[in-house]
């Protein structure tokens, strides 16, 4: 077997956004179809976001991909958000912070996105408690487009909610096992899942929720 150098394994910046690895891990459908949902399914008659209904949809996606639903994912540490926009199937996510250590400045997070769902564009600024957060992402199941600042990618599809505010337009596709990362501190970025949804591991410096800034003026976090 030919030895691959570390430089070869991580080389090649693409579109000013990400560097990709050559690892590929297949998704597992288990003979089932991935459920599809209307936006109304995730809202109560009062119009309030139904986080429990959202979590059930993510569990179904996890089962589709053969992803283990461990005990921590069944408790309150596992959360789902629609960011206050009322368009969960377009803008929303679920996640769990596996670890977030301020004293040692590291963070481990899993991101869950339904098919076509996006995390709203945002950045992390410096705070009293944290330097500007730096992060990288590894697609585990499904695939995602990640977006950062840099030369805009021709022909990208901008979700309707963000047509008037989007900054980051340099696109990179991450398939299972591939890795991308934020190219600089306090840069705008977002991601959007492909047609099978996505489960993405995030590696990062300490996460301070007070450092989040969103380009969409009506996002609530």
Per-residue model confidence as pLDDT tens digits over 141-192: 999 999 999 999 999 999 999 999 999 999 999 999 999 999 999 999 999 9
- Please state the domain count of the chain: 1
Find out whether 55 and 67 touch, Cβ atoms under 8 Å: no
Per the domain annotation, does 66 fall within a domain? yes
Q: b or e along 90-125 (b: 16 or more beta carbons within 10 Å of the residue's beta carbon)?
A: bbbbbbbeeeeeeeeeebebbbbbbbbbbbbbbbbe
Residue 32 is predicted with a pLDDT of 76
Per the domain annotation, does 1 fall within a domain? no
Q: Which residue, chain included where needed, has tokens 């250590």? A: 101
Find out whether 197 and 34 touch, Cβ atoms under 8 Å: yes
Answer yes or no: is pLDDT of 5 > 50.
no
Per the domain annotation, does 219 fall within a domain? no
Model confidence pLDDT, tens digit, residues 120-134:
999 999 999 999 999
What is the number of alpha carbons within 13 Å of residue 32 lying toward its C-beta? 15
Q: What is the DSSP letter of 66?
A: T
Averaged pLDDT for residues 90-114: 98
Q: Which of 19-28, 80-89, 100-109 has the lowest mean pLDDT?
A: 19-28
List beta partners, residue 139. Answer: 200
Per the domain annotation, does 34 fall within a domain? yes
Residue 33 is predicted with a pLDDT of 86
Q: Which residue, chain included where needed, has tokens 């050559």? A: 22
Q: Which of 67, 71, 40 is nearest to 53 (CA)?
A: 40
Computed over its alpha carbons, how large is the radius of gyration of the chain? 17
Q: Of all residues in the chain, what percent carry a pLDDT higher than 90?
A: 85
93: domain CATH number?
2.60.120.10
Model confidence pLDDT, tens digit, residues 17-49:
443 333 333 445 555 789 999 999 999 999 999
Name residues whose C-beta falls within 8 Å of residue 2's C-beta, 6 or more positions apart in sequence.
Answer: none
Six token digits for residue 103: 């004293």
Per the domain annotation, does 109 fall within a domain? yes
Q: Of all residues in the chain, what percent carry a pLDDT higher than 70?
A: 86
Per the domain annotation, does 196 fall within a domain? yes
Averaged pLDDT for residues 105-132: 98
> Can you give the pTM of this predicted structure?
0.87
* CA gap 150, 181 in Å, rounded: 13
Six token digits for residue 50: 């139904």
Q: Which residue, chain included where needed, has tokens 């996606």? A: 61
* CA gap 20, 67 in Å, rounded: 22
Residue 31 is predicted with a pLDDT of 54
3-state secondary structure of 94: strand
Q: Which domain holds residue 93?
A: 6-214
Residue 2 is predicted with a pLDDT of 39
Q: What is the DSSP letter of 186?
A: T
Q: Which of 13-22, 64-73, 78-87, 90-99 has the lowest mean pLDDT?
A: 13-22
What are the Cα distances from residue 37, in Å, to 29, 113, 153, 159?
18, 13, 29, 17
Per the domain annotation, does 221 fall within a domain? no
3-state secondary structure of 9: helix
Per the domain annotation, does 38 fall within a domain? yes
């Amino acid at each position: 077997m030919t030895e691959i150098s570390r430089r070869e394994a991580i080389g090649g910046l693409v579109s000013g956004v990400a560097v990709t690895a050559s690892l590929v891990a297949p998704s597992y459908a288990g003979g089932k179809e991935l459920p599809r949902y209307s936006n109304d399914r995730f809202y109560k008659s009062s119009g309030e976001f139904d986080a429990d209904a959202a979590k059930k949809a993510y569990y179904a996606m996890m089962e589709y991909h053969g992803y283990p639903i461990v005990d921590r994912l069944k408790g309150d540490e596992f959360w789902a958000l629609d960011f206050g926009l009322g368009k969960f199937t377009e803008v929303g996510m679920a996640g769990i912070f596996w670890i977030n250590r301020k004293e040692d400045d590291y963070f481990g997070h899993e991101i869950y996105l339904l098919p076509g769902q996006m995390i709203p564009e945002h950045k992390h600024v410096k705070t009293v408690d944290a330097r500007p957060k730096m992060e990288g992402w590894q697609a585990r199941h499904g695939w995602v487009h990640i977006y950062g600042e840099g030369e805009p990618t021709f022909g990208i599809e901008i979700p309707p909610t963000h047509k008037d505010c989007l900054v980051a337009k340099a696109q990179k596709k991450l398939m299972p096992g591939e890795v991308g990362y934020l190219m600089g501190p306090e840069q705008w970025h977002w991601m959007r899942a492909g047609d099978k949804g996505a489960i993405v591991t995030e590696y990062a410096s300490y996460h301070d929720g007070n450092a989040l800034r969103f380009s969409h003026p009506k996002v609530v976090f």
